[in-house]
Amino acid sequence: MPLVVLRAGTLAETDTFWQVRTGLLTMEHRSLPRVDPFSWTAHGEPWTLNSWGYNVVVGAAYQLAGLPGVALVCGGIVLATAAVVLVSARRLGSSPLMAAAVLLLTSPVLVPWLSARPQLVDYVAVMVLLLLLVNVVDGRRPWVAVLAVGLVMALWVNLHAAALLGVAIAGLTALLLLTRRTTRGAGRRCLAATAAAAGGALANPYGIGLFTQTASVKDASSDVVVEWQHLDPTSPAQLVMLLIGIAGLVVAVRRRDAVFTSALMVTTLGSLLAIRILPVLVLAAVPVVAAALTGLTSDGRSRRVYRVVVAVSAAVLVSLVALSVPSLGHVGRPDTELYPAAVVTQIPDRCHVFNSYLVGGFVLLERPDVLVSIDSRNDFYGTQRVLAAERLIRGEGDVTAGLAGAGCVLVPPSSGLAQRLTADPTWRLRASEPGGALFVRA
pLDDT digits (tens, 9 = 90+) for 136-174: 999 989 999 999 999 999 999 999 999 999 999 999 999
Is there a domain that residue 336 lies in?
Answer: no
Range from 32-41, 98-107, 296-305, 359-368 carrying the lowest mean pLDDT? 296-305
pLDDT of residue 329: 92
Domain boundary among 294, 327, 360: 327
pLDDT of residue 407: 96
Do β-strands 427-433 and 436-441 pair in parallel, antiparallel, or remain unpaired?
antiparallel
Give the pLDDT confidence of 91-120 residue by residue, as tens digits.
Answer: 999 999 999 999 999 998 999 999 999 999
Contact (Cβ atoms closer than 8 angstroms) between residue 295 and residue 93:
yes
Is there a domain that residue 433 lies in?
Answer: yes
Average pLDDT of span 322-346: 94
For residues 95 and 170, membership in a common domain is answered with yes
For the chain, the residue count is: 442
Residue 32 pLDDT grade (very low, low, confident, very high; cuts 50, 70, 90): very high
Measured torsion, CA atoms of residues 421, 427, 430, 434, in degrees rounded to the nearest 10? -10
Query: Which residue from 376, 378, 431, 425 is spatially nearest to 409, judged by alpha carbons?
Result: 431
Domains contained in the chain, number:
2
Global pTM reads: 0.92
Q: Is the pLDDT of residue 372 over 60?
A: yes
Q: Is the pLDDT of residue 295 over 90?
A: no
Q: Is the pLDDT of residue 241 over 80?
A: yes
For residues 353 and 281, membership in a common domain is answered with no
For residues 224 and 78, membership in a common domain is answered with yes
Query: Which residue from 268, 237, 227, 228 is spatially nearest to 250, judged by alpha carbons?
Result: 268
Domain boundary among 295, 327, 359: 327
pLDDT of residue 298: 62
Domain boundary among 284, 304, 327: 327
Q: Is the pLDDT of residue 122 over 90?
A: yes
Is there a domain that residue 333 lies in?
Answer: no
Q: Is the pLDDT of residue 380 over 80?
A: yes
For residues 134 and 238, membership in a common domain is answered with yes
Average pLDDT of span 76-105: 95
Please, where are the H alpha helices in 92-139?
Answer: 96-110, 119-138
The whole-angstrom separation of Cα 190 and Cα 198 is 12
Contact (Cβ atoms closer than 8 angstroms) between residue 38 and residue 21:
yes
Residue 228 pLDDT grade (very low, low, confident, very high; cuts 50, 70, 90): confident
Q: Is the pLDDT of residue 219 over 80?
A: no
Is there a domain that residue 209 lies in?
Answer: yes
Average pLDDT of span 163-189: 95
pLDDT of residue 221: 56
pLDDT of residue 216: 64
For residues 145 and 66, membership in a common domain is answered with yes
pLDDT of residue 212: 75
For residues 367 and 317, membership in a common domain is answered with no
Residue 423 DSSP symbol: T
pLDDT of residue 69: 97
For residues 290 and 379, membership in a common domain is answered with no
The whole-angstrom separation of Cα 137 and Cα 261 is 13
305-326 exposure pattern, b = at least 16 Cβ within 10 A, e = fewer: ebeebbeebeebbeebeeebee
For residues 220 and 321, membership in a common domain is answered with yes
Beta bridge partners of 428: 440
For residues 307 and 372, membership in a common domain is answered with no
Is there a domain that residue 189 lies in?
Answer: yes
For residues 130 and 58, membership in a common domain is answered with yes
Residue 155 belongs to what domain range?
2-327
Q: Is the pLDDT of residue 388 over 60?
A: yes
pLDDT of residue 13: 92
How confident is the prediction for the chain on average, in pLDDT?
93
The whole-angstrom separation of Cα 196 and Cα 198 is 5
Is there a domain that residue 332 lies in?
Answer: no
Residue 163 DSSP symbol: G
Q: Is the pLDDT of residue 268 over 70?
A: yes
Contact (Cβ atoms closer than 8 angstroms) between residue 45 and residue 381:
no
pLDDT of residue 240: 96
Contact (Cβ atoms closer than 8 angstroms) between residue 11 and residue 335:
yes
Is there a domain that residue 305 lies in?
Answer: yes
Exposed / middle / buried, residue 240 (Cβ in 10 Å: 0-12, 13-18, 19+): middle
Exposed / middle / buried, residue 205 (Cβ in 10 Å: 0-12, 13-18, 19+): middle
Phi/psi of residue 297, nearest 5 degrees: -100, 20
pLDDT of residue 299: 62
Q: Is the pLDDT of residue 220 over 70?
A: no
Q: How far apart are the first and last CA of the chain?
A: 51
pLDDT of residue 356: 94
Q: Is the pLDDT of residue 181 over 70?
A: yes
For residues 108 and 216, membership in a common domain is answered with yes
Is there a domain that residue 335 lies in?
Answer: no
For residues 386 and 303, membership in a common domain is answered with no
